[in-house]
Structure 1
Amino acid sequence: MILYNDRLVDREDVRIDIEDRGYQFGDGVYEVVSIYEGEIFRLQEHLTRFEYSANQIGITLPVTLEKLQDNLHKLIEHHQLSNGQIYFQVTRGYAPRNHPFPEESHPVLTGYVTRRPRPVESMKNGVAAIITEDLRWLRCDIKSLNLLGSVLAKQKAAEQGAFEAIQHRNGTVTEGSASNLFMVRDNKLYTHPLGNLILGGISRIVVLELAAKLNIEVIEAPFSLEELHQADELFLTSTTSEVMPIVTLDGKPVKNGTPGAVTKQLQEAFSALIGF
């Protein structure tokens, strides 16, 4: 069963038109939400961002957020899912192919669940990252279906045996291809400020809240590639990666090449928050 607009239906019964604007233009937005022990993590924040992204590109959701929330819970219950993710998206819907918005459209909302274990080993040992130029469009605050820039960056990382690509614009570090980035220097936590150049990640919000509780000083300000290379610790955050240490950058170790103390502290706090 999957979610289709306002109801749950068999996947085989869903038909998306060849001229759906999501298919032809990437004209839509999406969310990915974690499920821990049958509970949806930070769903309200995800729904708020989903509505924001849709509003920014002029799509009116075909259901209320309350109805969507109810259906997402029904989807989890139907699949008896304890741990995994929910993916849901909305497109502007079918219209004869033309770049401007159609005069009339009927947005199409779909969603499904996947079983996916937490990346425990990677979080314990850390991952590799590379640096690449940020070639994405200038509205990264919208969680758009247009992900080709991120896909190309992620593929470049994969070809070099790395987990993530850390992006920069003219030497100023922004974020990962599919994650937010944090840097630790002198026990202070640095991350790019919110704005159109990064996505306002939900896991980013959680880490900032945890840092405040742990009395870790946070500085939300742009930093350079030079500062990145001088980091004591680096980690990324995302729904699927939680708090993920970066231990090598462009093939060179970050500090001593192992997850750092501040990163571990935040990992432990995050795990406690989700009940693991």
Structure 2
Amino acid sequence: MTVYPIVIAQQNFTHQDSLHYPFEERGLQFGDGIYEVIRIYKGNYYLLKEHMDRLFCSAEAIKIDLNITKEELTRLLLKLLEKNKMTTDGKVYLQATRGSAPRDHVFPVDTPANLYAYVQDLPRPSEKLKNGICTITTPDVRWENCYIKSLNLLPNVLAKQEAKENNCYEAILHRGELVTECSSSNIYIVKNGEIYTHPTTNRILHGCVRMRIEKFANDLSIPFHEQAFYKEAIFQADEVFLSSSTSEVMPVVRVNNQHIQDGKPGAITRKLQKAYELDAAITENNITQA
């Protein structure tokens, strides 16, 4: 598909086929920026408000003045879908940096933020949702403020690459023996019919889908505990699953080459997948019927 980014710089709005910033751009030189990935189903955003809230929370945390309101940015993102005639499943990548200025660790003065977003087709990972995925575990060597969705993703990239080199989908991160999250998703275990996941502290990203899963669990009368667990608990769990905007509610059936129970997605994971599909208004339900 043709991709038309939106660029918001110095209070102007333009559509461009390519982006051009000065070589001294703080996102490039310092990773001095934030981002969001927003899911699209059948041409409609899913959890757009939650993503906008998190973007502005991240901006406040690292003291970036976006110089735009949530309402204005939301309007532009809706216009982006219209411009691209988006009617399929996809995603939007949205990024904001502190702007373009001579390289200096100190914040530049009177420098507008650079914002851009673009849309891409992204089919649902149907086979993985149906059959489950395998993961590895690896130490969490990230910084202390993982709740900020910043551009500083090198530890995440290295963890994800390690997973790929082991023919796995994801890497489960742990500090000492305590599990935090994955390289690009939140992680959960199910034990005796109850869900456990790391509390919403600065150690993890406060996932938009994660918040929805808590709601689904409450609606389904499934106990949901924000309680950290140790790596050993993964292998004793009845079910393991992860979540993100692109992975949805993803069953984990093998960790470090060891099967979780019988190596098949569990009943609670299936219920949450169904709740997700209904909430996102995904009509063709060919995942959870298997």
Q: Give the letter for the 1:71 counterpart.
A: L
1:191 aligns with 2:197: yes
1:86 aligns with 2:92: yes
**Equivalent residues in 2 for 1:67-146 (5 A)?**
67-82=72-87, 83-146=89-152
* Aligned-residue offset at 1:188: 0.5
Aligned to 2:47: 42
Which of these residues, 148, 155, 158, is aligned with residue 152 of structure 1? 158
Aligned to 2:221: 215
TM-score using structure 2 length: 0.93
Stretches of structure 1 lacking an aligned partner (at least 5 in a row): none
RMSD: 0.9
Query: Is the 8 Å Cα contact of residues 7 and 16 (structure 2) preserved in structure 1?
Result: no
Sequence identity (%) = 44
Instruction: For residues 209-229 of structure 1, give each alpha carbon's deviation from its aligned partner in whole angstroms, at most 9, with x where no partner exists.
Output: 000000000111111112122
* Aligned-residue offset at 1:143: 0.2
Stretches of structure 2 lacking an aligned partner (at least 5 in a row): 283-290
TM-score using structure 1 length: 0.98
Aligned to 2:286: none
Aligned to 2:31: 26
Structure 2 CA distance for aligned equivalents of residues 16 and 218 of structure 1: 45
SS state at 1:150 partner: helix
Instruction: Provide runs of 4+ in structure 1 moved above 4 Å.
Output: none
Q: Give the letter for the 1:85 counterpart.
A: K
Aligned to 1:236: 242
* Aligned-residue offset at 1:103: 2.7
1:55 aligns with 2:60: yes
* Aligned-residue offset at 1:7: 1.7
Query: Is the 8 Å Cα contact of residues 145 and 203 (structure 2) preserved in structure 1?
Result: yes
Structure 1 CA distance for aligned equivalents of residues 14 and 73 of structure 2: 11
Structure 1 CA distance for aligned equivalents of residues 103 and 216 of structure 2: 47
* Aligned-residue offset at 1:104: 3.1
Structure 1 CA distance for aligned equivalents of residues 147 and 253 of structure 2: 27
Q: Give the letter for the 1:188 counterpart.
A: E
* Aligned-residue offset at 1:178: 0.1
Q: Give the letter for the 1:4 counterpart.
A: V
* Aligned-residue offset at 1:101: 1.4
* Aligned-residue offset at 1:38: 1.8
Structure 1 CA distance for aligned equivalents of residues 106 and 86 of structure 2: 40
Structure 2 CA distance for aligned equivalents of residues 11 and 25 of structure 1: 25
SS state at 2:241 partner: strand
Q: Give the letter for the 2:83 counterpart.
A: H
Aligned to 1:17: 22
Structure 1 CA distance for aligned equivalents of residues 107 and 261 of structure 2: 50
* Aligned-residue offset at 1:8: 3.4
Structure 2 CA distance for aligned equivalents of residues 113 and 79 of structure 1: 8
Structure 2 CA distance for aligned equivalents of residues 224 and 180 of structure 1: 15
